A = this chain, B = another copy of it.
């Protein structure tokens, strides 16, 4: 039996609130098929930002807000990435500094830890690139076999790292949606599916990005968070984390940053739904971009992303590959940060939102660089 956190209060559907048993290996809501949410009993948690100061330099410092007890984690020491100031009121949260060079490590650390301790014998997921590398690495660390499927035109470095970590790799025509379909039809039947938002724990890893922002801002809250949005787990996770921080008393009630979703002009289902006033995303036809992490045409959690943008008084921006590339070069050459195309898109979005005065000079802005550019070059 896995040793779950005593603070774990239950697991419920994000959409219909149906309750699920945390002792089971869970996927999506058995009632409606939408993503599940992990809930904590925070009234029993006595933890201040100051308490964190002397803790380990990883996301496991937020132990009371994670689902499992110390000693059971599958870890490569992920999280607590640098927040680098790059202009007067602008910081880059540099997620390239995680294991396997991307923010995907956070989610996979939690998902693989939980899957292993709840009895999974093998793991599988489709990926636009970085999630596959992270899953392959954490599977290797956990001693569990991994199968991944990626679009055939994903850059070579993503396949190479999966191979290095000993994963079984499928190259699939199309996008991550087609890779997911391939795995459902032809993947190993015994492998537990850790696809984005198809199990409850990747969100729990990703939410720690928001804990870190508040800790790194000494308890203050940035005005704007600019986030490249593919599957959207990070956006959903950070919104959840702000709710948890409010209940812990780390931040004042109702104070949130404005969240900005950055998507590619060649694949922008969340931005389109938000800008057109719809609650749900529609599959994006003929998706294309070489910011591969943004090539997610039908995100299962799209409706939650739209909700977050709306509730936070946020925004959405579509960026062309050309603008993203120019912004990548600009940010990297000015700062020494290893910027990926998705991070470049976020930097480009900042300039667009400044030009239209959605972001003003006095706003304190965090731009996410979600991974290393090395795998794309």
* Alpha-carbon distance between A335 and B334 when the two chains are bound, in angstroms: 35
- Which of B166, B336, B374 contacts A375 (CB under 8 A)? B374
* Alpha-carbon distance between A121 and B328 when the two chains are bound, in angstroms: 25
* Alpha-carbon distance between A143 and B328 when the two chains are bound, in angstroms: 17
* Alpha-carbon distance between A335 and B99 when the two chains are bound, in angstroms: 12
Structural contact, B374 and A140, CB atoms closer than 8 A: no
- Which of B57, B137, B336 contacts A57 (CB under 8 A)? B57
Chain multiplicity (copies): 2
- Tell me which of A100, A139, A164, A332 has the highest count of chain B C-beta atoms within 10 A of its own C-beta: A164
Given contacts A97-B97, A336-B138, contact A164 B373 (CB under 8 A): yes
Within 8 A of B (CB), among A287-346: 328-329, 332-339
User: In the assembled complex, which residues on chain B have CB atoms less than 8 Å from the CB atom of A94?
Assistant: 76-77
Given contacts A57-B57, A84-B77, A97-B99, contact A141 B374 (CB under 8 A): no
Structural contact, A166 and B333, CB atoms closer than 8 A: yes
User: Interface size (A, Cβ < 8 Å)?
Assistant: 41
* Alpha-carbon distance between A138 and B53 when the two chains are bound, in angstroms: 28
Q: Mark A154-182, 1 if CB is under 8 A from B, else 0.
A: 00010011001110000000000000000
Structural contact, B336 and A139, CB atoms closer than 8 A: yes
* Alpha-carbon distance between A333 and B163 when the two chains are bound, in angstroms: 9
A129 interface contact, C-beta 8 A: no
* Alpha-carbon distance between A365 and B372 when the two chains are bound, in angstroms: 30
Q: Which residue of B lies closest to A100 (CB)?
A: B338
Q: Which residue of B lies closest to A105 (CB)?
A: B336
- Which of B160, B166, B329 contacts A377 (CB under 8 A)? B160
Given contacts A157-B377, A372-B101, A373-B164, contact A141 B335 (CB under 8 A): yes
Structural contact, B101 and A165, CB atoms closer than 8 A: no
Structural contact, B80 and A76, CB atoms closer than 8 A: no
Q: Mark A358-377, 1 if CB is under 8 A from B, else 0.
A: 00000000000000111101
Within 8 A of B (CB), among A77-106: 77, 80, 82, 84, 94, 97, 99-101
**Chain A residues close to B by CB (< 8 Å):** 53-54, 57-58, 76-77, 80, 82, 84, 94, 97, 99-101, 136-141, 157, 160-161, 164-166, 328-329, 332-339, 372-375, 377
